[in-house]
Amino acid sequence: MQRSHNKIEDTDAELANRQEELFQMRNMTAIKLLASEIAHEVSNPLTSISVFLGLLYEEIEKEETKETIEFMLKEVARAQEIIHRLTDFARKQPLNLKEVDVRELIDGAADIVLRQNAGKAICLTTSLGELPQNIVVDRMFIQQALVNVLSNAFYATPPRRNIDIRSNQVDNALIILVEDTGGGISKELLPHIFEPFFTTKGDAGGSGMGLAIAKKMIELHRGTITVNSTEGQGAAFKITLPNSQNKL
């Protein structure tokens, strides 16, 4: 009886592991499909936008407007690079690892999302504690992961409320915490928040891939992302990244 019981437990554990493997395979298939579709559908329009913005920049004389167009051109270039890197990501190409200034990385992601949400009356505060000067990461992937998490926070947070970014170093890991003051996530939805195509935005749009892609990009760096939330009290996303990627 004991041997039979042990065999049943072993079989259950094996089935659970297989189910998790299949779930992860489904997630990767969904991400690969999205990356392929993005590359095919978006590359040509972005090139056209870049060309026409360049022409407009040459004709505009007002300095403030030229600065705005410069930012738009940089964003188009960033989108093109994201598409290129997402395609590599789907094909399992090696990460483009380089030393990156930690503060500049976080501030850059915050600036992008603030400009994208310029019409919202939301206060974004940044508190960076004791941090390493540099961290070895694929800059494009980690910046986009941060942008995805921050964009989610901006969507969840009503006007005239706050979003906080806090960061510090614990042992040999960089910790980045993004806390919003939105409506929070229910217990029923919390386990699915990082699943591909899962979204709570409804008619407001959204593919449900932002957090799923962020999670995969972070995990490629041997990092983790978790979420802690109580419905009605906002959500806190915690990103942990090792300072060194030498063993990748």
User: In which domain, by residue range, is 68 found?
Assistant: 2-90
Which of 53, 70, 90 is where one domain is finished?
90
Q: Give the pLDDT confidence of 228-238 residue by residue, as tens digits.
A: 998 888 999 99
Tell me, yes or no, whether 129 and 86 share the same domain: no
Q: Which pLDDT score, from 0 to 100, does residue 247 have?
A: 44
Tell me, yes or no, whether 47 and 108 share the same domain: no
Average pLDDT score over residue span 102-111 = 92
Surface-to-core class of residue 48, CB atoms within 10 Å of its CB (0-12 exposed, 13-18 middle, 19+ buried): exposed
The CA distances from residue 83 to 16, 36, 100, 102, 108, in Å, are 35, 9, 21, 23, 19
Tell me, yes or no, whether 109 and 80 share the same domain: no
* Tally of domains in the chain: 2
Tell me, yes or no, whether 101 and 182 share the same domain: yes
What is the band of 167 on the pLDDT scale with cuts at 50, 70, 90? very high
Tell me, yes or no, whether 128 and 170 share the same domain: yes
Q: Give the pLDDT confidence of 6-28 residue by residue, as tens digits.
A: 666 666 666 666 665 555 556 55
Tell me, yes or no, whether 186 and 219 share the same domain: yes
Surface-to-core class of residue 180, CB atoms within 10 Å of its CB (0-12 exposed, 13-18 middle, 19+ buried): buried
Q: Is residue 248 part of a domain?
A: no
Average pLDDT score over residue span 120-125 = 90
Q: Is residue 247 part of a domain?
A: no
Tell me, yes or no, whether 23 and 128 share the same domain: no
Supply the CATH number for residue 147's domain.
3.30.565.10
Check whether 32 has a pLDDT greater than 60: yes
Tell me, yes or no, whether 226 and 110 share the same domain: yes
